[in-house]
């Protein structure tokens, strides 16, 4: 049954839709044929999620299973708001709720807006279990599960814990999907933002194994002369 809160939120999303934003999203996201895009800006969705952080999980579940892209995104952002303030068993239950519904997280923006803020806090608090969870997602046949695994490590990177990301860069280096290669490069770039020598040492050792796009994204913030060395080397190695 649709609650009053859920119905009001759905109406508000449609009121905030912008045709120009919808056209841009269609080009950038390449949504599935059954995915309805409204054209609501992400900062607006974040504001709505903050205002609805107390929404019942039953309503969040309805949003996550909606064919409307912004409804799914808002549901994920509400979940992130709840995770942010939850602790202990409550946070673990929210993480389980998310993991049981990763099939609803079915485009790169939904992954990138949720993985590190929903799974991330739990990974930070449970380092003994983090690798097993990440490895399980990384081994999934679903592209989006694998991207969730990669992007979730951003929370660990921000805590100065780089090893899970470095392990994943090697374990997924032969992934067939460019969206995984790009996500790996993004996470390596975030490591380099905090520890440039570590990133360059990792690339010196493994650059021949990594996809070209991963190296290109990983080195974006390195000094130009250092970046040029890696990019030129990769180009020669790939022939």
**Domain locations in the chain as residue ranges:** 1-85, 105-239
Residue in this structure with the two tokens 């990384």, named with its chain if needed: 138
Compute the average pLDDT of residues 160-186.
97
* pLDDT at residue 90, as a whole number: 95
Quote the pTM value. 0.94
pLDDT average, residue stretch 89-102: 97
As a whole-number percent, the residues of the chain with pLDDT over 70 amount to 96
Q: How far apart are CA 102 and CA 47, in angstroms?
A: 23
- Token pair 């992400």: residue: 42
Q: Report pLDDT for 234.
A: 52
- CB neighbours of 167 closer than 8 A, spacing ≥ 6? 131
Q: Which band of pLDDT confidence, cut at 50, 70 and 90, is reported for residue 239?
A: very low
Residue 232's pLDDT band (boundaries 50, 70, 90)? Answer: confident
Q: 139 pLDDT exceeds 90?
A: yes
pLDDT in the model for residue 94: 97
Average pLDDT score over residue span 179-205: 97
> Quick one: which of 166, 127, 172 has its CA closest to 145?
172
CA atoms within 13 A on the CB side of 204: 7
Ramachandran angles phi, psi of 36, nearest 5°: -90, 120
What is the pLDDT, as a whole number, of residue 229? 86
Q: Span 105-239: which CATH code?
A: 1.25.10.90
- Per-residue confidence band for 32, with pLDDT thresholds at 50, 70 and 90: confident
**pLDDT for 7:** 95
Q: Say if residue 236's pLDDT is above 60.
A: no
Q: What is the mean pLDDT of the chain?
A: 94
């Amino acid at each position: 049954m649709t609650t009053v809160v859920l119905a009001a939120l759905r109406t508000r999303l449609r009121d905030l839709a912008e045709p120009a934003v919808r056209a841009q999203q269609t080009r950038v996201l390449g949504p599935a044929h059954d995915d309805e895009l409204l054209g609501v800006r992400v900062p607006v969705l974040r504001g709505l999620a903050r205002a609805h952080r107390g929404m019942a999980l039953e309503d969040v579940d309805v949003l996550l299973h909606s064919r409307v892209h912004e409804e799914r995104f808002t549901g994920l952002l509400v979940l992130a708001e709840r995770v942010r303030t939850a602790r202990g068993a409550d946070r673990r239950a929210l993480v389980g709720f998310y993991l049981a519904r990763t099939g609803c997280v079915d485009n790169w923006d939904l992954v990138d807006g949720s993985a590190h803020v929903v799974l991330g806090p739990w990974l930070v608090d449970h380092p003994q279990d983090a690798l097993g969870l990440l490895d399980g997602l990384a081994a999934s046949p679903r592209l989006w599960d694998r991207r969730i695994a990669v992007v979730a490590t951003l929370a660990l990177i921000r805590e100065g814990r780089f090893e899970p990301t470095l392990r994943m860069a090697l374990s997924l280096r032969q992934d067939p999907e460019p969206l995984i290669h790009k996500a790996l490069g993004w996470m390596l770039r975030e490591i380099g933002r905090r520890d440039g020598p570590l990133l360059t040492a990792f690339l010196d050792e493994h650059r021949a194994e990594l996809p070209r796009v991963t190296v290109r994204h990983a080195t974006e913030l390195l000094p130009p002369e250092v970046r040029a060395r890696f990019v030129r080397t990769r180009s020669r190695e790939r022939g």
